Amino acid sequence: MAAHNTDSFLSGAFLKRYHGHLGKDIFVTSGSAKELAPGSFGVCAIGGGAEGWSVVHIGPEGDVADLGGEYYFSTPEEALAFVKELIELMLAEG
């Protein structure tokens, strides 16, 4: 079986496509968030990344919640930092 490449060339630098933070899965994707597993977080390209990046969470039934609302990020690194902070806040509240 071939190994899967987990790196992607984004914003002029290599950014891993999968991140784990405090036991939570975060995926950076240019595809649909509906492809992500329930319970995971996603950093999703809007218009291939040209229009920005959104942060989503996939619920237990597969429903997609946009966590940024109307706020989008200009780079995937900014969105990834936001979702990591969000996970920390969620876990701190218990």
Q: Into how many domains does the chain fold?
A: 1
Which of 33, 4, 3, 29 has its CA nearest to residue 15?
Answer: 29
Model-wide pTM > 0.85:
no
Is 74 contained in some domain? yes
Is 77 contained in some domain? yes
Which of 79, 85, 26, 20 has its CA nearest to residue 53?
Answer: 79
φ/ψ of residue 33, rounded to 5: -70, -20
pLDDT at 63: 93
pLDDT at 15: 56
pLDDT tens digit at each of 94 positions of the chain: 333 334 444 444 445 699 999 999 999 998 788 789 999 999 999 988 889 999 999 999 999 999 887 889 999 999 999 999 999 999 998 6
Number of Cβ atoms within 10 Å of the Cβ of 50: 7
Question: Domain containing 18: what range?
Answer: 7-93
Which of 3, 8, 35, 33 has its CA nearest to residue 19?
Answer: 8
